[in-house]
Amino acid sequence: MRLSLLMITAAVGLMGCAAGSVSSLVATQAPLIEHCERLGFVTEKADAGHLSAFLAKHAMVRKVENRAIQLGATHIVWLHQTDHSAAARAYRCPDPALD
C-alpha cells in the first residue's frame, strides 16, 4: 500500500513538471489555423503499467503535447482522445506580434 501511494505521488509530481512545458502550446480547431504550417501527426498510446487508468491517460495526453512542442509546434488540433490512445496534428503558426 505504501509503495503504491509513493508511486502515485511520484507520477503526479512528474506530470506536474511536464504540464509546465506545454503552457506555450495552444489547442485549437483546424479552420482557425489554415495559414499555419502543418508539421505532422503526433500519436501516443496509454501505458497504465502500475498507474491508474486516469493517470495513464493524463500522461499520454502530456506526451502528445510535449512531442508536438519538440517538433516546434505552437498549436495542436486534437483528432481524438480515448482512454487508450490520442492523436493530434501539430502546427507552427507565425507570431502575430512579428507582423
pLDDT tens digits, residue range 14-39?
A: 444 444 455 689 999 999 998 999 99
Q: What is the pLDDT of residue 16?
A: 47
Question: Region 31-52: what's the mean pLDDT?
Answer: 89
Domains defined for the chain, CATH in brackets: 2-93 (3.30.1660.10)
Q: Could you tell me the CA-to-CA distances from 68 to 20, 45, 55, 75, 78 in Å, in that order? A: 14, 15, 20, 8, 11
Classify burial at 43, counting beta carbons within 10 Å of its beta carbon; exposed 0-12, middle 13-18, buried 19 or more.
middle
For the chain, how many residues are written? 99
pLDDT in tens, 57-82: 999 999 999 999 999 999 999 999 99
- Is residue 39 within 8 A of residue 92, CB to CB? The reply is yes
On whether the CB atoms of residues 36 and 75 are closer than 8 A, the answer is yes
Q: What is the pTM of this model?
A: 0.71
Identify the pLDDT of residue 53. 84
